[in-house]
């Protein structure tokens, strides 16, 4: 009886007390958000691949993040639009960042095998698209909520590193000295 | 009496086990692990055969994340992760290091004649353009900058790094790069740079950028002066596969010659070319034909000596020289296709010829795994309307290759005979389980960004010199009969840094053939003909024969 009353009292307190009076340990956890808020100017870089034979180069454009939209999803879908070999309805649906790793969930049609040159273009473009976000080091790919193991010849179960705008990849963190 | 009999029986039981155990111990030797810039690692390390066993703590101490569970370890190196079975040695669970390195796309080399395993940070790329330096390696390296005088130059030593055939190099404004020591790559920028410092985060990092500023001197590569650091003993230099850059050199030329034979064995032959002093830039090599090795020595004159040079008749048929501009070209006609590594030993250039294991040299009796790419729900590349699918084209060529190989007396194992899906790793495991001599994967390419792209490529894994030889042998046959442009032999590291799964997991010489581009109308039309499929199958057979040294 005492226990029930105690729980009821806490519940009433949480419900009725002003937010700034609620102790941290009783506050509701915020719902898992997608990627951080859009950058200050609301724009992201869009990677645009070009090919001259097998020589693939990558240019950059910009796109505005839609109101309430996700900057990672905008960057990825902007890149996919420059890849005519990706099915028309293939899209990044969501992106979730945690511990410097982003999980991108694509529509089911994205998950297929591509020719080797196209596969290389796709993977490097994704690495570069996400390299613009300093809070992301690593990428995991999913389609329809299931992990993507490969898009042809390259193993993707362990994910990919991003490629920063200067061409570098993230350093190993916390390497201890022997 | 009874006790004596029991003791005798006990000894009879124990002696065979003691013999087996001591034989096992005899093969287990203490070893040394030298890890990138860390140097020699403290800890109990053992060598068994060609495997190096290290405790998990050693890996943790170099920053790798390790979890141990039920006799296996999950090791994470950056984004790469591997699950490895542990082995109990000296009462301690240990990780097979070379197997682990292979699984995460890295490599360790046993120092010849020792029990020392060197693990290097593979250098992915070095770029010096308009005063900006970018270094990118596969593991953390330690970098330091020094300004040297007479002549003035800025030197950046990257400790723990190793240059590879696939290392991407863009060097402008008088910059050059050498493998200065076995574990040090040296970048030298001639002239004065305005800002000769590295950022703090470059001290130990997998990659870094530094703005040094544009050099005040002209962008020519200057021959090393007499006070320049000499090449170090036993220094591996680049094993570049690409042709040399068109560089301009000033200063006196290096004198090369004579050429002499050194160590010769079933797997390696070593030749030594005397150099009067250090080369102004790294030498390069190329294989115009699988059995022809050409080494290009920048700003060098060459004289192999009076009469026939003293070379190894078991590895080299003949040696000739010629000049290409200011560069000397040493041309070696090999008795059969071999892999190549070149390195410095003091003032000499060592040419290592890596002899593929060919058994009796006959194709008959060998086991070949033919892997038809994709299959089942995995169509591979397709035409826009899916009239043509890579999975069907690869299966047709694989079946023809199988049929021709069987006629040659080869045991052929197909990874699939029907339209079914086989996972990437399983394809290689089929070859590994059957102890195949060769693994050959057949694919069709696609470049949706440029439908004018045409031609065939044969891939090998990262810097594997033996698989490179196999790829070169097969592609050299394909280019003669395919009727498509020859795009050559590529490392799979050119597509992605850890390469293709099927080549990475295969434990024998392994190649992946991209026959042509499905989205190019001309390639597609040609690839659809029976002629083309038969010819590719025939080129695979002939390429294997060339690899085995058959004339």
- B204-246 pLDDT per residue, tens: 888 888 888 766 543 333 222 223 333 333 333 333 334 344 4
- Cross-chain Cβ contact A115/B492 below 8 Å: no
- Cross-chain Cβ contact B79/A138 below 8 Å: yes
Q: Which residue of A114, A161, A172 is in closest CB contact with B140?
A: A172
Mapped onto helix, strand or coil, the DSSP state of residue A46 is strand
Q: What is the pLDDT of residues A105-115, one digit of tens each?
A: 999 999 999 99
The arithmetic mean of pLDDT across residues A20-40, rounded, is: 44
> Which chain A residue lies closest to B127 (C-alpha atoms)?
A167
pLDDT band with cut points at 50, 70 and 90 for residue B21: very low
Mean pLDDT of chain A: 81
pLDDT band with cut points at 50, 70 and 90 for residue B510: very high
Are the C-beta atoms of A103 and A96 separated by less than 8 Å? yes
* Rg over CA atoms, chain B: 26
CA gap B36, A172 in Å, rounded: 14
- Cross-chain Cβ contact B517/A168 below 8 Å: no
**Chain B, window 175-204: residues with a beta carbon less than 8 angstroms from a chain A beta carbon:** 201, 204
Chain B partners of A49 at a C-beta cutoff of 8 Å?
Answer: 449
pLDDT at residue B218, as a whole number? 34
B485 or B69, higher pLDDT: B485
- Cross-chain Cβ contact A170/B380 below 8 Å: no
B71-90 burial code (b ≥16 CB/10 A, e <16) = eebebebbbbebebebeebe
Q: Which residues contact B105 (CB under 8 A, 6 or more apart)?
A: B80, B138, B462, B497, B498, B499, B504
Chain B partners of A155 at a C-beta cutoff of 8 Å?
Answer: 424-425, 498, 501, 504
Q: Which residues contact A35 (CB under 8 A, 6 or more apart)?
A: A70, A71, A72, A73, A95, A96, A97, A102, A133
H/E run at residue B239: none
Least confident of A131-145, B316-330, B414-428: B316-330
Tell whether A63 lies on the interface with B, counting CB pairs under 8 A: no
- Cross-chain Cβ contact A168/B81 below 8 Å: no
The arithmetic mean of pLDDT across residues B249-278, rounded, is: 84
DSSP for residue A26: G
Report whether pLDDT(B429) > 50: yes
> Which chain B residue lies closest to A49 (C-alpha atoms)?
B449
Phi, psi at B81, each rounded to 5°: -135, 140
Phi, psi at A49, each rounded to 5°: -80, 145
Least confident of B20-24, B192-196, B299-303: B20-24
Distance of CA B307 to the CA centre of its chain: 35
Least confident of B339-353, B451-465, B520-534: B339-353
Percent of chain B exceeding pLDDT 90 equals 42
* Residue corresponding to tokens 């329809």: A144
pLDDT at residue A159, as a whole number? 92
CA gap B281, B490 in Å, rounded: 24
Tell whether A150 lies on the interface with B, counting CB pairs under 8 A: yes
Closest CA to B278 of B344, B327, B341: B344
Q: What is the pLDDT of residues A115-148, one digit of tens each?
A: 999 999 999 999 999 999 999 999 999 999 999 9
- Cross-chain Cβ contact B449/A51 below 8 Å: yes
Least confident of A10-24, B190-204, B345-359, B499-513: A10-24
Report whether pLDDT(B381) > 80: yes
> Which residue blocks in chain A are alpha helix, DSSP H?
2-16, 71-81, 116-131
Chain A partners of B512 at a C-beta cutoff of 8 Å?
Answer: 153
pLDDT at residue B190, as a whole number? 79
Chain B partners of A149 at a C-beta cutoff of 8 Å?
Answer: 423-424
Chain A partners of B83 at a C-beta cutoff of 8 Å?
Answer: none
Bridge-partner residues for B443, per DSSP? B514
Q: In angstroms, what separates the C-alpha of A88 from chain B's closest C-alpha?
A: 11
pLDDT band with cut points at 50, 70 and 90 for residue B305: confident
Tell whether A122 lies on the interface with B, counting CB pairs under 8 A: no
**Chain B, window 473-502: residues with a beta carbon less than 8 angstroms from a chain A beta carbon:** 487, 492, 495-496, 498-502
The arithmetic mean of pLDDT across residues B127-131, rounded, is: 80
pLDDT band with cut points at 50, 70 and 90 for residue B279: confident
Tell whether A54 lies on the interface with B, counting CB pairs under 8 A: yes
Mean pLDDT of chain B: 84
Are the C-beta atoms of B127 and B190 separated by less than 8 Å? no
Q: Which residues contact B256 (CB under 8 A, 6 or more apart)?
A: B273, B274, B275, B276, B297, B300, B301, B302, B303, B328, B330, B349
Chain A partners of B381 at a C-beta cutoff of 8 Å?
Answer: 113-115, 118
pLDDT at residue B3, as a whole number? 55
CA gap A164, B185 in Å, rounded: 23
B534 or A17, higher pLDDT: B534
Closest CA to A58 of A129, A136, A133: A129
Tell whether B472 lies on the interface with A, counting CB pairs under 8 A: no
Report whether pLDDT(B424) > 60: yes
- Cross-chain Cβ contact B79/A158 below 8 Å: yes
Q: Model ipTM? A: 0.78
The arithmetic mean of pLDDT across residues B239-265, rounded, is: 66
* Residue corresponding to tokens 């230099």: B237
Q: Which residue of B63, B208, B209 is in closest CB contact with A175?
A: B63
Report whether pLDDT(B444) > 80: yes
Tell whether A161 lies on the interface with B, counting CB pairs under 8 A: yes
> Which chain B residue lies closest to A56 (C-alpha atoms)?
B449
pLDDT band with cut points at 50, 70 and 90 for residue B459: very high
Least confident of A68-72, B113-117, B201-205: B201-205
The arithmetic mean of pLDDT across residues B66-72, rounded, is: 85
Closest CA to B414 of B433, B439, B378: B439
CA gap B41, B259 in Å, rounded: 38
- Cross-chain Cβ contact B449/A167 below 8 Å: no
Report whether pLDDT(B269) > 70: yes
pLDDT at residue B310, as a whole number? 62
pLDDT band with cut points at 50, 70 and 90 for residue B112: confident
pLDDT band with cut points at 50, 70 and 90 for residue B17: low
Report whether pLDDT(B336) > 90: yes
Chain B partners of A150 at a C-beta cutoff of 8 Å?
Answer: 424, 501
Q: Which residue of A84, A123, A171 is in closest CB contact with B448?
A: A84
Tell whether A151 lies on the interface with B, counting CB pairs under 8 A: no
Are the C-beta atoms of A104 and A139 separated by less than 8 Å? yes
pLDDT at residue A129, as a whole number? 97
pLDDT at residue A143, as a whole number? 96
The arithmetic mean of pLDDT across residues B156-165, rounded, is: 84
- Cross-chain Cβ contact A138/B63 below 8 Å: no
CA-to-CA dists, residue A83 to A110, A145, B425, B454, B521, angstroms: 12, 22, 28, 19, 19
pLDDT at residue B10, as a whole number? 60
Q: Which residue of A118, A154, A166 is in closest CB contact with B134?
A: A166
Percent of chain A exceeding pLDDT 90 equals 68
pLDDT at residue B391, as a whole number? 97
Q: Is the pTM of this model over 0.90?
A: no
- Cross-chain Cβ contact B452/A158 below 8 Å: no
Q: Which of A115, A137, A139, A158 to mutate to test the interface with B (most CBs of B within 10 A)?
A: A115
A173 or B336, higher pLDDT: B336
**Chain A, window 83-102: residues with a beta carbon less than 8 angstroms from a chain B beta carbon:** 83-85
The arithmetic mean of pLDDT across residues B391-395, rounded, is: 98
> Which chain A residue lies closest to B135 (C-alpha atoms)?
A168
Q: Which residues contact B547 (CB under 8 A, 6 or more apart)?
A: B290, B336, B337, B356, B358, B469, B470, B473, B474, B509
- Cross-chain Cβ contact A150/B501 below 8 Å: yes
Least confident of A113-127, A143-157, B122-136, B525-539: B122-136
Phi, psi at B63, each rounded to 5°: 95, 10
Q: Which residue of A85, A121, A178 is in closest CB contact with B41?
A: A178
The arithmetic mean of pLDDT across residues B507-513, rounded, is: 97
Report whether pLDDT(B182) > 90: no
Report whether pLDDT(B394) > 90: yes
pLDDT at residue A24, as a whole number? 46
Q: Which of A79, A118, A152, A176 to mutate to test the interface with B (most CBs of B within 10 A)?
A: A152
- Cross-chain Cβ contact B446/A115 below 8 Å: yes
Are the C-beta atoms of B482 and B534 separated by less than 8 Å? no
B272 or B178, higher pLDDT: B272
Q: In angstroms, what separates the C-alpha of A161 from chain B's closest C-alpha?
A: 6
Q: What is the pLDDT of residues A57-100, one digit of tens each?
A: 999 999 999 999 999 999 999 999 999 999 999 999 999 999 99
CA gap B339, B355 in Å, rounded: 7
């Amino acid at each position: 009886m005492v226990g029930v009353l105690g729980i009821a009292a806490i519940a009433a307190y949480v419900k009725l007390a002003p937010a700034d009076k609620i102790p941290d340990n009783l506050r509701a956890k915020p719902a898992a958000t997608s990627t951080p808020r859009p950058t200050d100017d609301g724009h992201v870089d869009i990677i645009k691949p070009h090919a001259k034979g097998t020589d693939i180069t990558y240019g950059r454009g910009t796109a505005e993040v839609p109101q309430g939209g996700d900057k990672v999803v905008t960057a990825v879908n902007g890149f996919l639009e420059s890849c005519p070999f990706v099915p028309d309805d293939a899209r990044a649906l969501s992106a979730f960042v945690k511990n410097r790793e982003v999980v991108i969930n694509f529509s089911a049609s994205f998950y297929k095998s591509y020719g080797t040159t196209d596969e290389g273009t796709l993977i490097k473009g994704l690495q570069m698209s996400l390299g613009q976000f300093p809070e992301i080091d690593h990428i995991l790919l999913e389609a329809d909520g299931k992990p993507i193991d490969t898009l042809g010849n390259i193993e993707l179960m362990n994910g990919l590193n991003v490629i920063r705008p200067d061409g570098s990849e993230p350093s190993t963190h916390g390497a201890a000295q022997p | 009496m009874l006790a004596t009999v029991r003791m005798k029986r006990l000894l009879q039981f124990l002696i065979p086990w003691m013999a087996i155990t001591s034989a096992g111990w005899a093969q287990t030797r203490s070893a040394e692990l030298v890890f990138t810039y860390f140097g020699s690692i403290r800890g109990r390390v053992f060598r068994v055969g060609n495997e190096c066993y290290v405790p998990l703590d050693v890996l943790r101490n170099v920053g790798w994340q390790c979890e141990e569970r039920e006799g296996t370890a999950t090791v994470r190196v950056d984004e790469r992760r591997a699950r490895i079975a542990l082995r109990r040695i000296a009462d301690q669970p240990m990780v097979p290091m070379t197997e682990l390195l292979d699984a995460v796309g890295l490599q360790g080399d046993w120092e010849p004649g020792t029990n020392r395993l060197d693990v290097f940070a593979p250098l992915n790329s070095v770029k010096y353009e308009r005063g900006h330096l970018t270094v990118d390696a596969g593991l953390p390296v330690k970098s330091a900058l020094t300004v040297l005088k007479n002549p003035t130059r800025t030197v950046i030593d990257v400790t723990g790094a190793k240059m590879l055939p696939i290392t991407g190099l863009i060097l402008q404004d008088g910059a050059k790069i050498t493998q200065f020591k076995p574990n040090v790559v040296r970048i030298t920028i001639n002239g004065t740079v305005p800002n000769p410092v590295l950022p703090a985060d470059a001290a130990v990092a997998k990659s870094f950028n530094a703005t040094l500023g544009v050099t005040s001197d002209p962008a020519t590569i200057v021959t090393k002066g007499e006070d320049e650091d000499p090449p170090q003993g036993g220094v591996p230099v680049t094993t570049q596969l690409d042709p040399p850059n068109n560089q301009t050199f000033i200063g006196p030329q290096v004198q090369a010659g004579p050429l002499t034979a050194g160590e010769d064995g079933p797997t390696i032959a070593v030749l030594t070319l005397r150099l009067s002093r250090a080369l102004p830039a790294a030498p390069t090599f190329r294989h115009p034909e699988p059995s022809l090795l050409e080494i290009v020595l920048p700003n060098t004159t060459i004289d192999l000596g009076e009469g026939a040079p003293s070379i190894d008749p078991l590895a080299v048929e003949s040696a000739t020289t010629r000049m290409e501009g200011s560069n000397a070209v040493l041309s070696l006609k090999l008795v059969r296709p071999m892999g190549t590594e070149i390195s410095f030993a003091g003032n000499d250039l060592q040419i290592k010829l890596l002899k593929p294991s060919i058994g009796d040299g006959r194709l008959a009796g060998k086991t070949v795994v033919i892997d038809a790419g994709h299959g089942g729900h995995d169509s591979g590349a397709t035409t826009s309307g899916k009239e043509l699918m890579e999975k069907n084209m690869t299966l047709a060529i694989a079946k023809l290759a199988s049929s021709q190989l069987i006629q040659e007396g080869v045991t052929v194992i197909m990874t699939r005979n029907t339209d079914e899906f086989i996972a990437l790793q399983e394809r290689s495991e089929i070859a590994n389980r059957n102890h195949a001599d060769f693994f050959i994967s057949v694919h069709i390419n696609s470049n949706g960004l440029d439908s004018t792209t045409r031609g065939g490529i044969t891939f090998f894994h990262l810097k594997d010199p033996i698989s490179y030889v196999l790829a070169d042998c097969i592609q050299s046959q394909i280019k003669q009969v395919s009727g498509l442009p020859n795009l050559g032999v590529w490392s799979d590291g050119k597509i992605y840094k850890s390469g293709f799964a099927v080549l990475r997991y295969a434990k024998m010489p392994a190649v992946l053939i991209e026959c042509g581009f499905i989205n190019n109308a001309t390639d597609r039309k040609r690839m659809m003909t029976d002629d083309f499929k038969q010819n590719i199958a025939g080129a695979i057979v002939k390429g294997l024969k060339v690899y085995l040294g058959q004339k």
